[in-house]
């Protein structure tokens, strides 16, 4: 029966298990290493959550490719139609600081597009899910972006903020949340209107959150208005805009 279980159900189960494992380390004195010449932290919790995701997901779908922030990249994935793209803890810095806004991010992609995506924020008890039928839910309730009255709520680094927000009217600048995936979830559930993504975001930050936001009526695009594709050789992106559909066009124009 395992082969007939939906990919989304599998992602949900694995993400919850990984999130529960990570919670054992949360606000405890967790071991930290630094990678990418000391710019990127990784903790024992990232590794433990990654082990669970790998075991549950590849165990059930050994023919799917694998791309994870915490696994050595296996280029075999490039030739595989369906690929798991995961970040065991997106928002590791928030996790290390004892802040709640970190998520387990897990997606299945097919030829560059996300088929199913899950974001699980165990410390907040929030589960976002989306699939290729257009379904998107937060804790079992359907999500739909409603145009926000009042100032446009946006999160962006200083340089990006000045460059791209001039056509967005009155702006309320949101405080920065380290987890990119969670920022996209906040747009999907109406707590934020847009975010500008610095260059070099990775597939594992975006693949699940993109589908959640898109199904809710928002979107993600690059400066020329193109939607990102996932499972490329580099698995990296340039500047991206994420937000309500009506705001994306205005940010692209400003670019």
CATH number at residue 179: 3.40.190.80
Q: Pick from 142, 176, 208: which residue ends a domain?
A: 142
Residues 125 and 158 in one domain: no
Mean pLDDT computed over 29-50: 86
User: How many structural domains are present in the chain?
Assistant: 2
Query: How high is the pLDDT of residue 4?
Result: 45
Query: How high is the pLDDT of residue 168?
Result: 86
Residue 125 clears pLDDT 60, i.e. is over it: yes
How far apart (Å, rounded) are the C-alpha atoms in residues 224 and 51?
A: 37
Lateral strand order in the sheet of 171-173: 171-173, 152-155, 194-197, 240-244, 218-222
Residue 9 is assigned to a structural domain of this protein: yes
**Which H or E run contains 116?**
strand 113-121
Q: Pick from 142, 171, 204: which residue ends a domain?
A: 142
Q: What global pTM score does this model have?
A: 0.95
Residue 158 is assigned to a structural domain of this protein: yes
Residue 46 is assigned to a structural domain of this protein: yes
**Are the C-beta atoms of 231 and 65 separated by less than 8 Å?**
yes
List the structure tokens of 217: 């009526």
Query: How high is the pLDDT of residue 29?
Result: 82
Query: How high is the pLDDT of residue 167?
Result: 83
Mean pLDDT computed over 135-160: 93
Residues 190 and 110 in one domain: no
Residues 117 and 167 in one domain: no
Query: How high is the pLDDT of residue 249?
Result: 93
Calculate the average pLDDT of the chain. Answer: 94
Residue 199 clears pLDDT 60, i.e. is over it: yes
Query: How high is the pLDDT of residue 98?
Result: 95
Residue 136 sits in a domain whose CATH number is: 3.30.540.10
The parent domain of residue 177 ranges over 152-254
> pLDDT category, 5, cuts 50, 70, 90?
low
Residues 196 and 137 in one domain: no
What percent of the chain shows pLDDT beyond 90?
83
Residue 240 is assigned to a structural domain of this protein: yes
Q: Kindly give the interhelix angle for 44-53 and 7-23, rounded to the nearest 10 degrees.
A: 150
Residues 45 and 115 in one domain: yes
Q: Pick from 91, 110, 142: which residue ends a domain?
A: 142
Residues 171 and 81 in one domain: no
Query: How high is the pLDDT of residue 184?
Result: 98
> pLDDT category, 162, cuts 50, 70, 90?
confident
What SS3 state is found at 189?
coil
Residues 213 and 171 in one domain: yes
Residue 221 is assigned to a structural domain of this protein: yes
Query: How high is the pLDDT of residue 3?
Result: 46
Residues 55 and 165 in one domain: no
Mean pLDDT computed over 2-8: 70
**Which H or E run contains 163?**
helix 158-164
The pLDDT tens digits for 167-195 are 888 999 998 899 999 999 999 999 999 99
Residue 147 is assigned to a structural domain of this protein: no
Tally of CB atoms within 10 A around 236: 12
Residues 29 and 85 in one domain: yes
Residues 44 and 87 in one domain: yes
């Amino acid at each position: 029966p395992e082969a007939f279980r939906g990919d989304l159900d599998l992602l949900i189960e694995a993400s919850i298990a990984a999130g529960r494992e990570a919670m054992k380390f949360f606000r405890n004195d967790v071991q930290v290493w630094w990678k990418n010449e000391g710019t990127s932290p990784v903790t024992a919790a990232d590794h433990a959550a990654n082990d669970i995701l790998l075991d549950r997901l590849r165990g059930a779908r050994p023919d799917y490719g694998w791309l994870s922030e915490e696994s050595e990249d296996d280029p075999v994935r490039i030739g595989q139609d369906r690929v798991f793209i995961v970040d065991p803890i997106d928002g590791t810095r928030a996790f290390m600081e004892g802040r709640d806004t970190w998520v387990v991010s897990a997606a299945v992609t097919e030829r560059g597009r996300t088929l199913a995506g899950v974001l699980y924020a165990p410390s907040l008890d929030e589960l976002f899910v989306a699939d290729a039928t257009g379904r998107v839910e937060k804790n079992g309730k359907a999500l739909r972006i409603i145009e926000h009255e009042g100032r446009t709520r946006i999160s962006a680094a200083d340089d990006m903020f000045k460059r791209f927000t001039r056509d967005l009217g009155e702006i309320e600048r949101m405080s920065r949340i380290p987890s990119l995936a969670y920022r996209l979830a906040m747009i999907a559930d109406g707590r934020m209107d847009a975010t500008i993504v610095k260059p070099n975001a990775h597939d594992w930050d975006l693949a699940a959150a993109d589908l959640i936001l898109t199904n809710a009526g928002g979107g993600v695009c690059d400066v020329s208005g193109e939607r990102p594709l996932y499972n490329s050789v580099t698995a990296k992106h340039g500047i991206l805009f994420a937000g309500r559909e009506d705001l994306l066009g205005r940010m692209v124009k400003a670019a």
